[in-house]
Structure 1
Amino acid sequence: MSEPEALTRLREVKRRREAELLRKANVVAVGIGYRQRGGRPTGELCLVVSVRRKVPLEELAPEDRIPPEIDGVPVDVQEVGALRAF
């Protein structure tokens, strides 16, 4: 899939699933970006779910877990801390 096609697909999935993701504990934002591994971008476009802090899966209620893929697009959970407007 070309990058423009991937972006179109990601935008559609984000539009459809953003409200659901934002209702999960600890989630502060949903966007489109590049997957990170070890703090470095991999170049793979994905749905980015930003959380205050990463929590081990076993500490999360099943309904608050974020899957590695949603509707066929990859998902990356990234820790961003508390967001504040100034």
Structure 2
Amino acid sequence: MDRNLEKLRMVKAVHEAALMSKANVVSVAIGLRQRGGVFTSEPAIVVSVTHKIPRSELSPEDVIPNTLGGVPVDVQAVGEIQAL
């Protein structure tokens, strides 16, 4: 197995529950980082939120770090998710 993918899976497993408990978080996945709305080739832990909130307006416990375990974290706004 690719070591990068293995590390991404391990970091996701360790941190997923804590990330899901933060404000506006609707999912945590492994995916590609976005920059300016365009996907890059850089793998990351993707944290999907209903909408982005400036860090200055978040409580300290709801701030999502830029990296976890040396792996990049990308916050992507996806809106409300509803089951069909």
TM-score interval for Structure 1 and Structure 2 normalised by the shorter chain: over 0.9
Which residue is equivalent to 1:41?
39
Which residue is equivalent to 2:30?
32
TM-score by length of 1: 0.94
Q: May I ask how many residue pairs the two structures share in their alignment?
A: 84
Which residue is equivalent to 2:76?
78
- Where in structure 2 are there 5+ consecutive unaligned residues? none
Q: 1:67 and 1:17 mapped to 2: Cα distance?
A: 11
Amino-acid identity (%): 55
Which residue is equivalent to 1:18?
16
Residue 2 of structure 2: SS of its match in structure 1?
helix
Per-residue deviation at 1:42?
Answer: 1.1
Which aligned runs of 4 or more in structure 1 are off by greater than 4 angstroms?
none
Which residue is equivalent to 2:7?
9
